[in-house]
């Protein structure tokens, strides 16, 4: 641990932090010295992971505004305040063209992936400002930067997340609160295992990725830790893409 990345004494909240990228983010922040509230919609999973990591846990349905308020209150009470917020909770929804979209699924994807971040940042950023400043990181996606024939509401929501980060950076910068987005590309997680097992998909996708491999949750987590720490103290309103180069290549 170096001083630039040291998060000792910092209080953090990470939503969707019981598995995959969210858990890796929580572990990275803990490794740098932060205290982290673990949260997911599943009470049993939240309690289990919180116990494994030795941190407080609070289950939360992010579509419930009252539950989000309770989550922020819990964090402030358990940790004495809030310095770092990571909005990671999200779902992919049903794939397909917009012409055939299921509007109930659309509403749920938008509620979890975008609306919840609007509400949660509104609740949490005043706490961060009250501590003299800090960092919020909103997890967006490469899909919000590229066109796709099947990723519909998810991509639209994630594009909105990146814009939310820019707007909040302007709004809260004068109070020393930095807000950034992180857009992961194809990351090897439990949820992506069916694609990892699909040889045809992997050959096509890796040919479009200069590093020729999927990313890992730890690599996304390291980016978040950078943005949360003093190392990223002059970075705000940015959408940092963690995709092995997929977004910049023509596939050659």
CA pair distance 110, 100, nearest whole angstrom: 17
CA pair distance 37, 25, nearest whole angstrom: 12
CATH superfamily of 3-187+218-239: NAD(P)-binding Rossmann-like Domain (3.40.50.720)
Task: Identify the segments of the chain with pLDDT beneath 50.
Answer: none
The catalytic residue positions are 154
Q: Specify the pTM.
A: 0.97
| Domain residue ranges in the chain | 3-187+218-239
| Strand arrangement, sheet containing 84-87 | 35-38, 11-14, 84-87, 134-139, 177-184, 239-242
Q: What pLDDT is attached to residue 75?
A: 98
Q: What pLDDT is attached to residue 250?
A: 87
On whether the CB atoms of residues 27 and 12 are closer than 8 A, the answer is: no
């Amino acid at each position: 641990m170096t001083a630039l990345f040291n998060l000792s004494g910092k209080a953090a909240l990470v939503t969707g932090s019981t598995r995959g990228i969210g858990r890796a983010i929580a572990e990275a922040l803990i490794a740098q010295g932060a205290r982290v509230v673990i949260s997911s919609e599943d009470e049993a999973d939240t309690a289990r992971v919180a116990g494994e990591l030795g941190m407080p846990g609070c289950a939360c349905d992010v579509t419930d505004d009252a539950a989000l308020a309770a989550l922020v209150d819990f964090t402030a009470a358990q940790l004495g305040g809030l310095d770092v917020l990571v909005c990671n909770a999200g779902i992919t929804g049903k794939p397909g063209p917009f012409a055939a979209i299921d509007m109930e699924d659309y509403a749920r994807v938008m509620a979890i992936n975008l609306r919840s971040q609007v509400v949660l940042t509104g609740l949490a950023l005043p706490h961060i400002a009250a501590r003299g400043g800090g960092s919020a990181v909103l997890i967006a996606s490469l899909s919000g930067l590229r066109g796709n024939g099947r990723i519909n509401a998810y991509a639209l929501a994630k594009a909105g997340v990146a814009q939310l980060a820019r707007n909040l950076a302007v709004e809260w910068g004068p109070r020393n609160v930095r807000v950034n987005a992180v857009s992961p590309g194809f990351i090897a997680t439990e949820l992506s295992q069916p694609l990892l097992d699909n040889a045809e998909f992997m050959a096509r996708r890796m040919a479009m990725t200069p590093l020729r491999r999927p990313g890992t949750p730890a690599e996304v987590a390291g980016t978040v830790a950078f943005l949360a720490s003093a190392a990223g103290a002059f970075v705000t309103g940015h959408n940092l893409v963690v995709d092995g180069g997929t977004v910049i290549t023509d596939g050659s």
